[in-house]
């Protein structure tokens, strides 16, 4: 019997509550043990010692292997003197060094990094990693590969030819804009247009640069906001912004990455957002409360700390906390899907489509 292509949803109503993925913590001890295990293996032919860090539910729900449905996180290790072979893919990445130092060659550009440095990888940029130090190095890599694998469009090339992406030329871009204005056809009086095929297959290119955020400089900037009054109602962080993402506020088109300084004894207000958040804690200790359940964490732990739309807040214990947070907020803004509720007593907002929120930073600054 032929299976019907239709699913009858007559009279369907949405469930009262979303089935959220549970928060999931990978302890620093488990990460250290996996680093040691990877380091003990013979060097693979491509040089890539890598383990994906996956949520227990990924297979059950039929999504790509990831720490949440849209984010793939991997742990990558290189021994002293080792180098990986070239690779490129249409997923974008964020790399964060958690141990040692090394270098990455991306499209011919060399980035020398040390512990707690962050850098991005544009799509289809050929790259390889080098450990030219005398100590092991380890990195966390965040990518949108899980989503692309679910869509069955993750394109990966091993040993690609050296084909750097063509730089965007300002003059050509301006000429292209002028041509597009001529070729598009207004329809009606509300701002709708028709776009011919010739414009459709030649969208305006945006230069996606390879950027590096050294921890040394970032830490100095964080010191300026670490001393904000305890009555400050925002979060003490800086986002590592890639200008190519524009108003979508990202380090890649999919993700933002922030580094937070959380002085001892700071407790955030409960809030929620449809973007999911993953935290890597590299100094201090504290706890998070997610959907009413408490999770304790310490330096070295990695955690899916806020499943999309789960009510949560974080608190530091006695010592200052530093943490890397990765969220899929830019993608949500672009899809007009980023609901954000900064204060649970007030309505949520659709960030990127309507006015967002304000903090009391000016009041705190004047008081001090």
Confidence at 129, pLDDT banded by 50, 70, 90: very high
The residue to which tokens 């649970």 are assigned: 344
CA distance 53 to 283: 21
Confidence at 228, pLDDT banded by 50, 70, 90: confident
Confidence at 364, pLDDT banded by 50, 70, 90: confident
Q: What is the pLDDT of residue 274?
A: 96
Query: Above 60 in pLDDT, residue 186?
Result: yes
Q: Which two tokens stand for residue 286?
A: 């504290």
Arithmetic mean of pLDDT, 61-74: 90
Q: What is the radius of gyration, based on Cα positions, of the chain?
A: 22
pLDDT above 70 covers a percentage of the chain that reads 93
Q: Does domain 24-160+207-352 have CATH number 2.60.120.10?
A: yes
Q: pLDDT: is 82 or 227 the higher one?
A: 82
Spans of all domains in the chain: 24-160+207-352, 170-200
Query: Above 70 in pLDDT, residue 32?
Result: yes
Arithmetic mean of pLDDT, 241-263: 96
Cβ atoms 20, 291 nearer than 8 A: yes
Arithmetic mean of pLDDT, 121-143: 96
Q: What is the pLDDT of residue 207?
A: 86
Q: Is 64 exposed, middle or buried (0-12, 13-18, 19+ CB in 10 A)?
A: buried
Arithmetic mean of pLDDT, 291-305: 97
Query: Above 60 in pLDDT, residue 181?
Result: no
Task: Supply the pTM of this predicted model.
Answer: 0.92
The closest of 23, 10, 93 to 292, measured between CA atoms, is: 23
The residue to which tokens 């020398």 are assigned: 112
Q: What is the pLDDT of residue 368?
A: 54
Least confident residue range of 128-137, 146-155, 196-205, 239-248: 196-205
Query: Above 90 in pLDDT, residue 174?
Result: no
Q: Tell me the pLDDT tens digit for each residue of 203-219.
A: 888 888 999 999 999 99
Confidence at 165, pLDDT banded by 50, 70, 90: low
Arithmetic mean of pLDDT, 306-311: 94
Query: Above 60 in pLDDT, residue 282?
Result: yes
Q: pLDDT: is 109 or 366 the higher one?
A: 109
The closest of 91, 89, 132 to 110, measured between CA atoms, is: 132
Q: What is the pLDDT of residue 198?
A: 86
CA distance 263 to 358: 21
């Amino acid at each position: 019997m032929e299976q019907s292509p239709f699913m009858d949803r007559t009279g369907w109503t949405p469930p009262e509550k979303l089935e959220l993925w549970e928060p999931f913590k990978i302890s620093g001890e488990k990460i250290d043990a996996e680093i040691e295990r990877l380091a003990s293996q013979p060097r693979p032919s491509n040089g890539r010692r890598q383990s994906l860090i996956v949520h227990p539910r990924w297979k059950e729900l039929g999504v790509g292997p990831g720490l949440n449905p849209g984010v793939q996180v991997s742990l990558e290790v290189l021994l002293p003197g080792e180098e990986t072979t070239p690779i490129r893919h249409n997923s974008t990445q964020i790399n964060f060094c958690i141990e040692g130092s090394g270098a990455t060659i991306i499209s011919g550009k060399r980035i020398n990094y040390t512990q707690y440095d962050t850098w991005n990888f544009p799509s289809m940029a050929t790259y390889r990693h080098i450990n030219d130090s005398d100590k092991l190095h380890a990195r966390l890599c965040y990518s949108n590969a899980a989503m692309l694998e679910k869509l069955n469009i993750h394109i990966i090339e091993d040993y690609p030819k050296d084909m750097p992406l063509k730089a965007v030329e300002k003059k050509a871009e301006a000429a292209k804009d002028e041509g597009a204005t001529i070729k598009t056809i207004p329809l009606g009086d509300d701002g709708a247009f028709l776009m011919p095929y010739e414009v459709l297959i030649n969208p305006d290119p945006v230069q996606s640069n390879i950027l590096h955020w050294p921890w040394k400089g970032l830490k100095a900037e964080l010191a300026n906001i670490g001393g904000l009054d305890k009555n400050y109602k925002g979060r003490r962080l800086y986002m590592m912004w890639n200008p190519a993402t524009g108003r979508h506020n990202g380090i890649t088109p999919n993700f933002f990455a922030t580094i937070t300084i959380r002085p001892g004894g700071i407790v955030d207000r409960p809030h929620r957002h449809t973007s999911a958040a993953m935290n890597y804690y590299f100094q201090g200790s504290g706890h998070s409360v997610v959907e009413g359940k408490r999770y304790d964490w310490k330096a070295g732990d990695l955690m899916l700390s806020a499943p999309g739309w789960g009510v949560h807040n974080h608190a530091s214990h006695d010592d200052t906390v530093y943490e890397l947070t990765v969220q899929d907020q830019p993608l949500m803004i672009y899809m007009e899907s980023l609901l954000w509720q900064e204060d649970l007593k007030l309505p949520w907002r659709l960030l990127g489509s309507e006015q967002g929120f304000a903090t009391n930073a000016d009041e705190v600054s004047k008081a001090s």
